[in-house]
Every structure is written in C-alpha cells, then in structure tokens.
C-alpha cells in the first residue's frame, strides 16, 4: 500500500493510460486513522485497504483532509487536484463520505475514470444532512459502480436513488477474530459502542435505563464525543435527570487494547440506533460471544443473524421506543434461562462470521468487473 497525498501523477498524457494497470486508487477521509474519531466507516476503509494489499493487489491510498461531506475551500481544492491528477481510465474507489457531498467536483471526473463509490451510510440518513440527498444522487448516477455495505443497504440505495440495479453491489464488512469475552456476573455489565450522535439513540438507551434503576446494572458507552457536542450535553443532562451518573459512563473513544478490554468485560451489547446500514459493532460483539440487544432497523437484523441451529443470538426491539428497550433489558436482567440461551447462540454465531479477506475478494470482483466493462 502506498501513501496518498493531494498530489498525484499528471492527468492525461503525463499520467498515462491506466488501461493495463492493476492499481486501485482508494480515496478515503483524512481522519481514517484518527484515534479520537473512530467510526465504522473508517474501520471498514482501513481493513479493506489492508486486506486488498495482503491479497497482492496494489492499493494507492489517497487520504483527503476535510470536514466531509461539507468540506471547506482548501479541502475541495485538494480533492479536485487529486482527482485531476489521476490517469484516464484509472480504477478509483471513493468513500461516499468524501464523494457524495461534492458532485460538482466528482461528476465531471467520473466520465474519464473507472469510478466506484463506497456508501457506508446514505448522507440523508444522518440527521441534518437531508439537503445533500440530491448531490449524492448525482454522484451515484455518474459512478460506474456503487458499493453498499449490506444487502439491505443495496436495495435501499437502488430504490431511494432510482439506480440501475446491476451497478449496485453489496460488499459487507468482515470481522476480526477475537477472544471470548469473560464478562462479569453474566448479566449486569452493559456495553454500547457507537459515536455519541442522535442517530445512535443513546438518549433512548438512557431513558430505558432510567426505568430500571431498581435493578443491578452498569452501562459503559464507548464512542467519540466531539461530533455533536450539543447532543452530548443533552445526554449528560438526561443521565443526571434520571440520577444515573454513577451507573452510565461516557468513556469517549477507545481503540486497541482498551476497546478489547471493554468488550471483554461486557455481558450484553446494546445498540439503540435509529438508522444503521450494517452495524459493524454488532458483529464485533458476536465475535467475542457477547449477546446483542439492538433495534430492528435497516441492516441490523441481518447482521445479528442466526446461529447454525436457527437460534437468534440476541434480542431486537423497535427504534425510538424506550419502553420496548426497557422491557427487553429487564428480561435480560431477571431471566437466567434467557441469558444462557442467548449466550450459547452468540458463541455459535461467532464461528460463522466472515473475515476481511472475504470482503477484499468481493470488492476485487466489483472493481475487476468495472475495469473490464470500461474497456
């Protein structure tokens, strides 16, 4: 894997034709490796890049600084220079967070590049980004291929943007092998890993926990706190209003061993998202044999899946419903038989999760097809 920058080979004759090249140019957000801003999208990009490289493919990583999908002038100019510097016919995979907010830059270049856009989450699915929907549609219509991260997300993109189905592909993320979580007493340690933003529904989780103060539990919330400071402030106030300051802990972002330790100490993983195309943290919990309580939104039910016996390794509840979430949490906390069944199912499901090598193979098929069709 070669490092990227805002500069590249000159366009056209100076850059040469990429018709015979096997290189994949992968345009990713500049904060892809920022320990203070981990995200499922960034993790997908990094692990895919590494897995493609490990499989023998040449990947040129182009990390683009900027506040995507709403970049400032310098970031826009940097992206424009980078794309203009790529050779005609070059295979380019762009993270949708970078691509879809700047159609005026990406669409003109798509005509001469073999462009695939990787959509982790449609921009309009994030609260406050609805105005970017039209621009995203223009970019996806111009791309030679569109990649979604789940079968649900693929169908959603096709229907929402009216895309030609044959150009849209599902390439789910892989999961890294992990040790079984030891947990605590088997029930009371709750863990939620997600950026603290409205879409992730932490407010719903706190409201649900507020009705269960009479039961024993502790909840650790892991994830970046700086993406929506106003929401984080409201969440702190909600925690205080329910008197849960000693029981609900906002840990901020954790990576590496500290994140592994958080998973290792968990008895139940909880995800209260309002929208979620895949839910990588669900599979990361299952990789450790941790049962999952999640909202039945978008791609999450498929990610939770079934074990080989047909059992479900967790519980699903409607989104935005503190009462339903509280009821399922209570069932977990007071029903040993339920806990045992879900734990056994999660351990069986653990052995069924695909790895990142599978993700790389699937993506390589999409990009190889794009390369052939453009000839």
Q: Is the pLDDT of residue 13 over 60?
A: no
Q: Residue 187 to residues 158, 178, 190, 205: CA-CA distances in angstroms?
A: 41, 20, 8, 17
84-93, 119-128, 129-138, 202-211: which has the minimum mean pLDDT? 119-128
pLDDT of residue 373: 81
Supply the CATH classification number for the domain 24-174+355-373: 3.40.50.2000
Angle subtended at Cα 221 by Cα 342 and Cα 244, rounded to the nearest 5 degrees: 100
pLDDT band at 127 (very low <50, low <70, confident <90, very high): confident
Q: Is the pLDDT of residue 14 over 60?
A: no
pLDDT of residue 18: 40
pLDDT band at 125 (very low <50, low <70, confident <90, very high): confident
Q: How far apart are CA 148 and CA 278, in angstroms?
A: 9
Average pLDDT of the segment spanning 219-242: 97
Average pLDDT of the segment spanning 211-234: 97
Tokens 């016919």 belong to 89
Q: How far apart are CA 124 and CA 207, in angstroms?
A: 26
pLDDT of residue 20: 39
- Residue among 318, 314, 310 nearest 331 (CA): 314
Q: Is the pLDDT of residue 80 over 90?
A: yes
pLDDT of residue 135: 97
Q: Is the pLDDT of residue 2 over 80?
A: no
Please report, for the chain, the start and end positions of each structural domain, with discontinuous segments joined by +: 24-174+355-373, 189-350
Average pLDDT of the segment spanning 165-192: 96
pLDDT of residue 8: 38
Same fold, 24-174+355-373 and 189-350: yes
Q: What is the pLDDT of residues 299-351, one digit of tens each?
A: 999 999 999 999 999 999 999 999 999 999 999 999 999 999 999 999 999 99
For the chain, percent of residues with pLDDT exceeding 90: 89
Q: Is the pLDDT of residue 153 over 70?
A: yes
Task: Tell me the Ramachandran region of residue 138: left when phi exceeds 0, alpha when psi lies from -120 to 50, beta otherwise.
Answer: alpha
pLDDT of residue 97: 97
Q: How far apart are CA 36 and CA 6, in angstroms?
A: 23
List Cβ neighbours of 35 (8 Å cut-off, separation of 6 or more).
Answer: 253, 255
* Coil, strand or helix at 8: coil
Q: Is the pLDDT of residue 155 over 50?
A: yes
> What spatial distance separates the first Cα and last Cα of the chain, rounded to whole Å?
25
Q: How far apart are CA 58 and CA 76, in angstroms?
A: 26
Q: What is the pLDDT of residues 351-363, one digit of tens each?
A: 999 999 999 999 9
pLDDT of residue 372: 87
Average pLDDT of the segment spanning 121-132: 89
Q: What is the pLDDT of residues 26-64, one digit of tens each?
A: 999 999 999 888 899 999 999 999 999 999 999 999 999
Strands 314-317 and 268-271, sheet pairing: unpaired
pLDDT of residue 224: 95
The answer to whether the beta carbons of residues 93 and 350 sit under 8 Å apart is no
Does the domain at 189-350 match CATH 3.40.50.2000? Answer given as yes
The answer to whether the beta carbons of residues 89 and 17 sit under 8 Å apart is yes
pLDDT band at 374 (very low <50, low <70, confident <90, very high): low
58-62, 129-133, 140-144, 299-303: which has the minimum mean pLDDT? 129-133
pLDDT of residue 21: 57
Average pLDDT of the segment spanning 264-282: 97
Per-position DSSP letters for 112-178, written without gaps between them: TSEEEEEESS-GGGSTT-GGGHHHHHHHHHHSSEEEESSHHHHHHHHHHHT--GGGEEE--------
Q: Is the pLDDT of residue 118 over 70?
A: yes
Mean pLDDT (the chain, rounded): 93
Q: How far apart are CA 312 and CA 148, in angstroms?
A: 24
* Coil, strand or helix at 40: helix
pLDDT of residue 289: 98
Higher pLDDT, 45 or 6: 45
Give, for 63, the enclosing helix (H) or strand (E). Answer: strand 59-64
Q: Is the pLDDT of residue 4 over 80?
A: no
């Amino acid at each position: 894997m070669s490092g990227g920058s805002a500069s590249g080979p000159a366009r056209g004759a100076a850059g040469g034709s990429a018709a015979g090249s096997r290189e994949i140019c992968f345009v990713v957000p500049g904060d892809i490796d920022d320990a203070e801003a981990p995200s499922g999208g960034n993790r997908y990009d990094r692990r895919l890049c590494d897995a493609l490289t490990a499989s023998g493919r040449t990947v040129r990583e182009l990390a683009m600084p900027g506040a995507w999908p709403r970049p400032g002038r310098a970031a826009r100019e940097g992206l424009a220079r980078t794309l203009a510097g790529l050779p005609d016919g070059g295979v380019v995979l762009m993270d949708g967070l970078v691509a879809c907010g700047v159609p005026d830059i990406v669409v003109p270049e798509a005509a001469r590049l073999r462009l695939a856009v990787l959509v982790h989450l449609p921009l309009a699915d994030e609260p406050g980004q609805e105005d970017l929907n039209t621009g995203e549609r223009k970019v996806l219509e111009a791309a030679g291929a569109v990649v979604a991260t789940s079968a649900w997300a693929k169908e959603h993109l096709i229907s929402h943007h009216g895309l030609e189905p044959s150009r849209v592909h599902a390439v789910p993320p892989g999961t890294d092998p992990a040790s079984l979580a030891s947990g605590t007493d088997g029930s009371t340690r709750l863990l939620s890993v997600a950026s603290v933003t409205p879409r992730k529904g932490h407010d719903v989780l706190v409201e649900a926990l507020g009705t269960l103060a009479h039961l024993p539990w502790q909840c650790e919330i892991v994830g970046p706190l700086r993406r929506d400071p106003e929401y984080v402030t409201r969440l702190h106030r909600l925690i205080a209003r329910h008197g849960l300051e000693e029981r609900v802990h906002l840990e901020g972002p954790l990576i590496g061993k500290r994140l592994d330790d958080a998973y290792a100490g968990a008895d139940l993983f909880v995800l209260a998202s309002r929208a979620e195309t895949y839910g990588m943290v669900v599979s990361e919990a299952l990789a450790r044999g941790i049962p999952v309580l999640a909202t039945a939104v978008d791609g999450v039910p498929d990610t939770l899946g079934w074990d080989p016996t047909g059992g479900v390794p967790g519980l699903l509840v409607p989104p935005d419903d503190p009462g339903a979430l509280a009821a399922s949490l209570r069932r977990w906390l007071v029903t040993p038989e339920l806990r045992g069944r879900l734990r056994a199912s999660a351990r069986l499901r653990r052995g069924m999760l695909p790895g990142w090598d599978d993700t790389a193979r699937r993506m390589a098929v999409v990009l190889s097809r794009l390369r052939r069709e453009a000839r």
